Every structure is written in C-alpha cells, then in structure tokens.
Chain A
Amino acid sequence: MIHPKRSLVGLLIITFAVANSFAEDANELLKKIDEKLTPESYEAYRKLINEEPDGSEKEFIFYTVKKGRDKVAMLYLSPASEKGRATLRLGENMWLYIPNVGKPIRITSMQSITGGIFNNADIMRVDYSAEYDPTILEQNDTEYVLELKAKSKSVAYDKLKMWATRKTLLVTKIECYSASGMLIKTLEFKEVKDFGGGVVRPSVVETHSPLNKGYRSIMIFAKMELRKFPDEVFTLNYLPKLGDLR
C-alpha cells in the first residue's frame, strides 16, 4: 500500500531536485556566458561615446584592468579635462579618484561618471554571475533567454533579461528593469571580434533608454589582452598609480 505521507515527501524531494538542477544549469550557463564576455584577468582600451539629441557627441577613452569576477579598475586617458581620473570597483563597492581632489570618493552604481545612458555599473561591469541569480526563461535552436534577479538591493538593476546565442554563448541583448518592472535601458552587443588569445566577443555595446529619448551611448572595445595582476592593483591607494601599468 502506498503511504500518502511518504509519497508527498518523495514528490517534494523530486521537485526540489529538479528545480535545483535547473538552477544549477542556469548558473553554469551564466558563468559560461560571463567567461565568453570577459576573460578572467585582462587589460583593455575602451572608447565611450555619448550622443545627445542634437547630434553632438562626447567621447572618453579609458584604460581598463579586470581581475576575477568582481575587480575592475579604470583610468581616463582623454579628454584632457578628465585625464587622470580613475575608478575602482570591488564587488558592490565603487570609488572615483579625481586628481584635483586627491582622494577616492565613494560613488554609487546608479550614478554615471561620464553622463549619458551608461551608469557606473555598466561602465565598470563585473561578471553577471557575481551580481545576479539566473533562471532560463526560454531556449530554442538559436538562442537562450535568461532572467537574472539581483542578489542584493545595492545592485544597479533589480532584474535583467538576457539574450545569448546558443552556439557561441555570446550575449546579443540585455534589457534592464527596475524593481517596479519598468524598463530602464536596453544594451545591444554588436560586432563580434577576435581580440587574440582566444578572446572572441562583441566589440561594441550600444545602449538606449525609454527614459532618455534621443540619447544614445556606445562603448567600443579595442586591444583586449589577457594579463595577470596582483590583487593590490585593485585598491584605493593604487588608483593614482594605475597609469604605471600601461
């Protein structure tokens, strides 16, 4: 005779195991997507363009170094008015060093140190798996669609919807949502490029926002190279010396 209590427990265990395996699959998938998008430790040069509704543009060039899942530092190379500024991100902590001020100040992920649509969390992005818990919403022959839920309230976006190609695991689009479900911005990943050293990824990220109609921001990657750094490079006292690494 089948015992109803035992059956219920068994059903719960099976349900939990299946759910857990899906979660593991999603986590593994997101980690692989992260690995494809950014090597574990690298240096890169990026140009950021902010386009305004009147057609005018502002441009910045950065030298960026990254290590592990959640350590990013960045130095402004141009324009002259911003040169020497440096930013650091360690997990959810972010700082901005301004040479004239002479000390790093804490900044928040929602701020934008450059203006435009990209906020600090976009510009100093760490691995998505470090900040979000994923679930697979859809999958077909060509792509995955994932929903990413923020692990804590200090993460810039409450929820992301991510599209990635099934074959190459390269991200093609991300929609960023607030806690209320409002679409804040869309990131589009374009122009896949072989940077050498096995790094093949989109070299252009475009973003636009329904909240800022007529504005567009573009991030262009160049010269991304694998490079190892000691952890001490990713500290406040090293920020003024970041240029010594170049």
Chain B
Amino acid sequence: MRLLLIITMALASCGILFAEDYSIDFEIPEEDEEKEKGLEWSGYLDSRYFVFHTDQSSPLYQLQFFGKDDLSKHWSQYKLELYLDADYQTRDMGFHLKTYSAYYNDSDSGFDLFEAYGNVNLSLSSFIQAGKRRYNWGKGYAFNPVGYVNSYKDPENPELAQAGLLSMSFEKIKSLDSRVLKTVTLTAIIIPPDEVLNKRYAEIKDTDLAAKLYLLLLDIDFDIMSYYSRINPSRIGFDFATNIRENIEIHGELSHFRDESKNAIVESELATTKENGYSYLMGLRYLNQWRTTVIAEYYHNGIGLNEAEYGGYIDFAQSGVENSNPEKVLNYSRTYFRGANLMRDYFYLKITQPEPFNWLYFTPSMFTIYNLNDNSLLLAVSLSYKPFTNFEVMLWPTFIMGDEGTEFGSRQFDQRYELRMKVYY
C-alpha cells in the first residue's frame, strides 16, 4: 500500500481551483511505509499477438520446419510477457530484482532472472555493485560495437529489456571545476568465467576484466573502454557523443578486436578463424520544428561475413535440406550463426513523428535496417497509441525484403504483423 504525502499549498485547504481549471494541489509519492522499508514494485504486462507470413522457399525456413510440407503460409502466435521489478533502496545500500516471465500456453512458459544485484553507496561518488546486472556501453542506438559487457541487443527493438551479466563492479565519479574537463568516471568490472567445472567451479585465471573511463571533455561525452580475457577476445575502443546544434546530436564508436572468432562454411564444413580488426559506428539524431525525430546510423561489423561467405552459409543450409540431414546444419546455425547482424555493413534509419495532424496520443514511427552488402532490408512501421496513462496499444507491421540468399531475404518470415498492448503498474 502506498501512502501519499499531500502537499497542501495556499489554496489547498479549501480545494479551490484556478479559473484556468487546474488545481495547484498535488500529491507527491513520498516517504511512506513502503519507502521506509525501501521496497518498491513496478513493471509492465505486455500482451503480443503476431501474424506471420512465411517464406517457404527460404532454406532457413525449410531447415527449421523440415518435413512439415503441409503448413499454410499464415501463422499466428500469442505471447504474454510479464516484467516484474522489485527495488529495495536506502541511501547507503540496495537490492534490485528484475524478472521476466513469458507465457505461450499452459505447457510452454518460462521465467528468467534478468537482473538481481546488490549495491553499496560508499559515498555520493563511489559505488560497488555485485550480482547479475545489465550494462549498456556505447552511444549507438541500434548497434554497439563497444558494448563489450552488454546484453544481446536486437536492432529491431533496441529498447527491449534484456538479461544482465553476472559481475561485480566498482564506480568512482569525480567532478572537476573546469571548463574543459568537467567529469571523470571510472568503471571497473570483474566477470566470472563462463566455463565452469561440474557446473559450479571455474579457474580463477579465466576471470575476465572490463574497464571504462568516461570523460565529459569540451562538452563531448567521451568513453575509453577495454575488455581483457584469456578465453574471450580482448578488445579496446572508444565512443563519443555531442550536440552540435540545439537539435542535432552526433555519436560514434570504434572498437579494435584481437583473436575474435569468425565462423564461416568452407567446403560444407565449419571453418573458424581468429581475426584482428575494427568495428565502428557513426550516427546522428536530428529533431525538426515539427518534432520529427530522425536517428540514422552506419555500422561496420569487422568480424561480419561478406556476401560470398553468407552465400556459402545459405548453400550449406540448402544442402542440409536437400540431403535430408537438417540436424547438423540446424546445430551450426543455432550455435555459430546466431544474431541479427551476421554481415558487415548496415544502415539504420528511424523516423518518429509524435501526434501528426494533431492526432492526440498517437505516435507513428518507421525504421529500416538496410544491409549494404547484399541490398536486403527490413522495413517496419510502428503505430503507438496511448489514450490513457500507463496504457499503450501498438500495431507493428514488419516487411522483410531481399533476393534469395541475402541476409534478410533468407529469413523464415517475409512479413510480420504485431498487435501489442502494454499495461504499466
């Protein structure tokens, strides 16, 4: 139960309204019984109904649904997702829990612990956090080549909550009284090894380390980050972001990787090579006088497949179907060719127009992810309507286009229509 402290102002005692018909009274979520305990619950329920149009000529479709030849082209899916968060926070310490539950039907549902970590505020400028926690490094909206400790990010829905990383971190902030360098922040993260013995133990020498130094330098956000590991690829990079006008922001990221594994199919077998190279991103946000927001980003994935290599992978998938041996190919596909950006060069564009033609609470947006290597693309339109506080309904059609053998053209579905309803609490 939440008790609210009522701030009573001059006219409050008699509940007088202004002639302008609003009240200067308002209730502030304040210190109350729950707050004394430091416990707060929040989250949202997301009901999603999908209609898919399948591309039955796609080798990836034929692999995934091998032997099921009598299926129609139109499928549906109903999915219920519950995000439930609990936060216990005092001025000095706290505990944070973020859970995710997905429900398809009574026989298929799941629960994930996205985050569960404790924090200690050593002072107003030094903090320790330990547990499973999500990080989000990098300035890019859809892609983050310097996101060394980030959760997997889906460029089709970059703002979707994702599972965190088991880690311990230390943060130290220092503000400086200078016009040139205003803030310095150091973040250091210790990440326990993935490879465990008997599901519980790990060799201490396999512990990974990550660090980020943030500088607010000449009104430019500037981060230098590195990731050190004996097992995983070591990486170093930087990012920046700044406003060049009152309505234009630019940002960029550059990452250098060493010994990063690149998987390709060579003569119908998996060939893994260790590569050194660079990934980078350049982007901008622009807002015009009609409140139209444009986000544009170019992303180069230095470890991505070129057109011939991706074609080799699709040929391999096709051969799995033709030889009636989908298991091996499916296994490779799920293990070594997962993810949304398998190739090298992408262009992302998102345009959002809140309340066009004075249609209240209605926000349409359009985004596209264009694969510059094979000219395939994904085009989506999101129509969001928020008629009430804490409620949102959304229609989200997605069209996936490309020739056979291209990254988007080889997806299992070529159209997807999503109807979504969110209720916050």
List residues of A whose CB falls within 8 A of some B CB.
45, 47, 49, 51-54, 56-59, 61, 77-81, 83-84, 90-94, 98, 100-103, 105-112, 115, 153-156, 191, 193, 203-204, 206, 214, 218, 220, 222-223, 229-238, 241, 243-246
Contact = CB atoms under 8 A, between A and B. Distances in A.
A80 B390 contact: yes
Contacts of B247: 108-111
Contacts of B182: 90
Contact of A61 (B28, B158, B392, B425): B28
Interface residues of B, number: 69
The 6 closest A-B pairs by CB, nearest first: A231-B175, A102-B136, A103-B136, A232-B125, A81-B424, A80-B424
A115 B243 contact: no
20 contacts: A47-B26, A52-B360, A77-B29, A79-B390, A80-B424, A81-B390, A83-B42, A93-B219, A100-B159, A100-B161, A101-B159, A108-B248, A115-B354, A153-B245, A155-B246, A222-B7, A222-B28, A232-B175, A234-B175, A235-B183
A182 to B, nearest CB: 10
Contact of B360 (A56, A61, A111): A56
Nearest to B161: A100
B183 A236 contact: yes
B249 A108 contact: yes
A170 to B, nearest CB: 16
Contact of A109 (B30, B185, B246, B360): B246
A80 B2 CA distance: 13
Contacts of B389: 58-59, 79, 81
B183 A53 contact: no
B68 interface: no
B293 interface: yes
Query: Residue among B26, B158, B247 with the most chain A CB within 10 A?
Result: B26
Query: Residue among A92, A103, A245 with the most chain B CB within 10 A?
Result: A103
A111 B293 contact: yes
Nearest to B35: A246
B9 A193 contact: yes
Nearest to A109: B246
B82 interface: no
A22 B74 CA distance: 75
A103 B137 contact: yes
Interface string B236-278: 0000011101111101000000000000000000000000000
Contacts of A59: 389
Contacts of A92: 219, 243
Interface string B66-95: 000000000000000000000001110010
Contacts of A234: 175
A230 to B, nearest CB: 5
B24 interface: yes
Contacts of B214: 236-237
A77 to B, nearest CB: 5
Given A84-B42, A101-B136, A191 B175 contact: no
A105 B215 CA distance: 15
A244 B251 CA distance: 30
Contacts of A57: 22
Given A206-B20, A222-B28, A235-B185, A79 B424 contact: yes
Nearest to A178: B289
Contacts of A83: 42
A176 to B, nearest CB: 12
Contacts of B137: 103
A80 B175 contact: no
Contacts of A90: 182-183, 216
Interface in B111-160: 121, 124-125, 127, 134-139, 141, 158-160
B173 interface: yes
B89 A243 contact: yes
A220 B214 CA distance: 35
A238 B173 CA distance: 8
Contacts of B7: 45, 222-223
Contacts of B323: none
Nearest to A234: B175
Interface string B326-347: 0000000000000000000000
A47 B22 CA distance: 11
Contacts of A84: 42
Interface string B344-361: 000000000011001010
Given A80-B390, A93-B216, A237-B214, A218 B293 contact: no
Contacts of A214: 358
A56 B243 CA distance: 34
Interface in B220-242: 221, 241-242
A52 B141 CA distance: 31
B315 interface: no
Nearest to B137: A103
A184 to B, nearest CB: 9
Contacts of A51: 22
A168 B344 CA distance: 64
Given A53-B358, A230-B175, A234-B175, A108 B243 contact: yes
Nearest to A150: B246
A243 B35 CA distance: 11
B53 interface: no
A49 B22 contact: yes
B287 interface: yes
A165 to B, nearest CB: 19
A220 B158 CA distance: 34
Nearest to B127: A241
Contacts of B177: 231
Given A100-B159, A108-B243, A108-B245, 8 more contacts: A45-B7, A103-B136, A103-B138, A106-B139, A214-B358, A230-B125, A231-B175, A231-B177
A105 to B, nearest CB: 8
Contacts of B9: 193, 203, 222
Contacts of B245: 108, 153-154
B293 A236 contact: no
B216 A232 contact: no
